[in-house]
Amino acid sequence: MADQLRCYTMRSHGMVLARLHMYDWIILLLLAVIDGLLNLIEPFHRFVGKDMMTDLRYPLKGNTVPFWAVPIFGIILPWAIFFGIYFKKKNFYDLHHGILGILYSVLITAVITDAIKDGVGRPRPDFFWRCFPDGKDVYDNITTGVICHGEKSVIKEGHKSFPSGHSSWSFAGLGFLAWYLAGKITAFDRRGHVAKLCIVFLPLLTASLVAVSRVDDYWHHWQDVFTGALIGLTVASFCYLQFFPYPFDADGTSFSLFYCQLLRFRFVQHVTKTMHLLGSFLASCIHGPASRRTQQQKCKLLQCATNRDRNSQYSRPGWNHPTRHSQRRGVWKQIVRSKSGVEMS
């Protein structure tokens, strides 16, 4: 099957694949819009009392792994690997499914993560210094709840601890890459090559280090990181298996043969339709609109004549009359007798 797929390039089958997955790309854009809206709305402000500040007094630090760096090694790095395999095998279907699958993995994870963040509103470990940047804490005399006087955007971000976005994004992108590499290098072929497992675990190790950095920077509790990693890895697994077979499957290095045949049929259908439209356009340009109208009239007259001849034999008077049944039966006996030479009783 791999030999049959080597000639499927971006130029030859790109348009067919884009038409086939047009709605998938539209839904992908809708997920991006939804995630953007979730980042704009105000999260739930969970009650934070004076006694709770003991566990929220960690220092306010910067990010060891900046937010802009997560898409680089969570999306751009896997894309580079996908393109490298494409230039080697010339399999555009594999490239398209890899790009679409990892984007779905990351965006679905982002929507789930940000929705939970806004709904839970758990304070970060450094919430004290976000709420009281000058170190002077103020509480309500009745409820002992905090009365923050810090920057509004910083306080808003302080209520988004659970789950960790860095962890979920990293495991969504790099977890998908781990599945992808496991299928491409046939890591589960039972031949005992441990080096293949090291290649598969390398993206997961990178995602784990990103998750650990969030705890070291006091931006998240360990429960936030663990839950984010679980969400990202689960969504990555579902998205990979939506586009590719299991890595230990016989076709694990690519996708199913049935899908290849389906795309080949769509490609032939698309080319045939295009050639038909091109021929009609050239005919109209050569013969002109008058000739086209004459041709349409001829086709219409021919169709009417055919329908009239077809219906005339059933519209003769007495055709369905009971006395005609014996006559028709006698005709059919003669036809069968002449064909088979067998006397009918």
Q: Catalogue the active-site residues.
A: 166, 220
Report how far residue 9's alpha carbon sits from residue 246's, in angstroms, rounded to the nearest whole number: 24
Report how far residue 255's alpha carbon sits from residue 189's, in angstroms, rounded to the nearest whole number: 17
Question: 144, 159 in Cβ contact below 8 A?
Answer: no
Two structure tokens written together for 193: 């090559």
Report how far residue 276's alpha carbon sits from residue 282's, in angstroms, rounded to the nearest whole number: 10
What are the distances in angstroms from CA 134 to CA 37, 128, 160? 32, 10, 22
H or E segment and range at residue 8: none
Q: Is 237 helix (H, G, I), strand (E, B) or coil?
A: helix
Q: For residue 139, list its beta bridge partners.
A: 146
Report how far residue 272's alpha carbon sits from residue 8's, in angstroms, rounded to the nearest whole number: 18
What are the distances in angstroms from CA 304 to CA 224, 241, 293, 329? 74, 54, 17, 31
Q: Is 62 helix (H, G, I), strand (E, B) or coil?
A: coil
Q: Amino acid letter at 59?
A: P
Report how far residue 176's alpha carbon sits from residue 77's, in angstroms, rounded to the nearest whole number: 12
Radius of gyration of the CA atoms of the chain, in A: 34
Q: For residue 145, list its beta bridge partners.
A: 49
CB count in 10 Å sphere of residue 308:
10
Report how far residue 239's alpha carbon sits from residue 172's, in angstroms, rounded to the nearest whole number: 9
| CB-based burial, 111-134: b 16+ in 10 Å, e otherwise | bbbbebbbebbbbbbbbbbbbbee
Question: 46, 158 in Cβ contact below 8 A?
Answer: no
